[in-house]
Structure 1
């Protein structure tokens, strides 16, 4: 299902991708809110860039987002709260593409 509802905050959101070295693929590491690409780059660099060979920021509005289920719906289709959160993570977040547990703040695979 495509997520189309706008956020309450009107400050533009920027998705952050990084590559730690030339041999790695880009990976999504998080998001920042900033009024411009330059400010987004500064924020992303201070938060994530210390390990980056390459750092990309792109407007979140230009990223098409998909989810497997309705917000508030558990994996089995029941309302949230009727089933315990996934024990693999604190917040029950899972990657839609792989089904692997992710860190709810950064989207990185849990360790």
Structure 2
């Protein structure tokens, strides 16, 4: 991702259920890696969901609220969204 095209993603996600980013480590020698996300109302439910998906391969499982993650992209999210999904005033 080039610094000149990088932009902060500030649009809210479509679903109002909190999103949790899932990180895991398969063994003690490797770094944590992002493996996906789950939607859940609480961290306990998020842990249950992430465990059912990834625990079989994870020595360590970390969860982080997606709202607390700074997301960046090189592509325009508006260009990828259908016209009906754009905020009022931004539709062409």
TM-score, structure 1 as length reference: 0.63
Structure 1 alignment gaps of length 5 or more: 74-111
Higher relative strand content:
2
1-structure distance, mates of 2:55, 2:76: 33
Q: Indicate the SS of the match to 1:48.
A: helix
Higher relative helix content:
2
CA RMSD of aligned residues (A): 1.0
**Count of matched residue pairs:** 73
Q: 2:19: which partner in 1? A: 13
Q: Indicate the SS of the match to 2:17.
A: coil
TM-score, structure 2 as length reference: 0.76
Cα distance, 1:32 vs. partner?
0.1
RCO (CA 8 Å, sep 6+): is it higher in 1 or 2? 2
Cα distance, 1:68 vs. partner?
1.2
1-structure distance, mates of 2:52, 2:71: 26
Structure 2 alignment gaps of length 5 or more: 1-6, 81-92
- Does structure 1 residue 67 correspond to structure 2 residue 68? no
4+ aligned runs moved over 3 Å, structure 1: none
